[in-house]
Amino acid sequence: MRHSHISVTLLLAAILAGCATSKPVNTPQASTGQAALQQALARESTLSGSYAVADEDHFFLANVSSSARPTVTAHEGVYQVTVPIAAEIPAECFVYHESLDAAATLNMLINEPLSSMAKTQILTIDAGTFGHRPYLSQEKLYITDQQVAGVLKGIVVPFETSMLACLHDSAGYSETFRRMAASFADELVLHGTTPETWAHEEVLLWKLRDMHIGFTINRSAPDEDGDIKSTVETALMIPRSSSEAITHDEYNITYEQPDGALINGRYAEAENGAINVNISLDRTAQGDYQVEGVFQGKEISAPLQATSGVVGPYHQYQEMIRAANPASGQPQALTLDAYVPSANPLQTIAMDMNPTGAHIGGLPEYELLFAGLKASGVVDDRGQKSMTVKMGSLELHLSRAYINSLP
């Protein structure tokens, strides 16, 4: 279990305690025009070809599946690619000059055009992978003052130095739109950047009820000094009501020694686009740690209170695998101190992992205890495969969607 798993679970526990999200998100059942709307929602189209698209500045190159040749328009900080995918209205995709918060960006792209609508309602929120890249999407129905219904669809795909975002303002064509975005993401090449080679990379998906609401990307690799660099990126879109979603974006970067001792870390979290955690953790010359930054609007500058040596996320990942797959064949208990600034910026918290004796899919089940919450999950020889957290009548599920670990 990595730091982000704990902080995301704590965040969701706090939000779900408010019961607004206990109501399912459903398609509206208004009688007037319902049959016509359902017919429109079922429409799909054929992507007849694959077309090369590039900008004049040589920032990006891609091959995109579409029904006709796309066009590229340059704007400040972003390139707009108009992609024909249906007879009436094309999709609009955006390749940004820099990386952005995935959930907050999607929320803004969906909500700003619909801010003046008489009524809106979330139809779907979804997350998944295009190959090894995660995506987050939303479809939102809207009704104008003239009682005309429409659907705005959005999808975002994060890259390490950029972001791809696509929109389509038309009822239906959901699968067509997804296939177009998948082709764009799979073939997108960003010039002037050298992709980092990660020794470990995994994508985990978060699921609430029957809806995937976000993703976490864990990456680790040795740097030129032999220390381990790890990044954790999380994006969540959590339904709060039938028309509103809460967004959570998180990006952490840490360095640890080969023996696992944490050297430093940078931790940033935002709720609905507003930063509420911006923390730096640095080891001092005396071997202690100093916390600097902002937590929930308050400036912090103080030593970290740790009950034991602070280890980095890659060491935690390795120890979790060792405990679950020992040479003896008997899974072992494990206790680690984790630094999760959203839980407590000035103290570490204990994470206990205890085998239950049960097996799921041939793997030993573990009970996980952290910050007053209880979860269960399974770990294989590559890491965390799944985890379930029960919060009253609700269940939050974490599952692996992609993993690649070099020997």
Tens digit of pLDDT for each residue in 254-284? 999 999 999 999 999 999 999 999 999 999 9
- In whole angstroms, give the CA distance from residue 24 to residue 34: 19
Which residues, including other chains, have CB under 8 Å from residue 148's CB and lie 6 or more apart? Answer: none
- Residue pair 250/275 in contact (Cβ under 8 Å)? The answer is no
Q: Higher model confidence: residue 351 or residue 355?
A: 355
Q: Which residue has the tokens 């994060």?
A: 158
Q: What is the pLDDT of residue 2?
A: 56
Contact in structure between 254 and 312 (CB atoms under 8 Å): yes
pLDDT, tens digit, for every residue of 41-98? Answer: 899 999 999 999 999 999 999 999 999 999 999 999 999 999 999 768 999 999 999 9
Q: In CATH, which of 3.40.1000.10, 3.40.710.10, 3.40.1120.10, 3.40.630.30 is domain 31-190?
A: 3.40.1000.10
Domain ranges of the chain: 31-190
Q: Average the pLDDT over each of 93-102, 215-224, 244-253, 335-344 and give the range with the smallest value.
A: 335-344
- Cβ-based neighbours of 200, under 8 Å, separated by 6 or more: 218, 219, 220, 221, 314, 317, 404, 405, 406
Average pLDDT in the chain: 90
pLDDT for position 87: 67
Q: Is the pLDDT of residue 310 over 50?
A: yes
Q: Is the predicted pLDDT of residue 20 greater than 60, yes or no?
A: no
How far apart, in Å, are the Cα atoms of 114 and each of 105, 106, 245, 266, 288?
15, 13, 14, 35, 50
Paired sense of beta strands 245-256 and 228-239, if any: antiparallel
Instruction: Please check the confidence at residue 6 and state whether its pLDDT lies above 70.
Output: no
pLDDT band at 327 (very low <50, low <70, confident <90, very high): confident
Task: Collapse the DSSP code of 68 into the 3-class scheme (helix H, G, I; strand E, B; otherwise coil) and give the result.
Answer: coil
Taking the complete model, does pTM exceed 0.85, yes or no? yes
- Whether pLDDT at 5 is above 90: no
The gap from C-alpha 406 to its chain's centroid, in whole angstroms, comes to: 23
Concatenated DSSP letters for 234-250? EEEEEE-SSS-EEEEEE
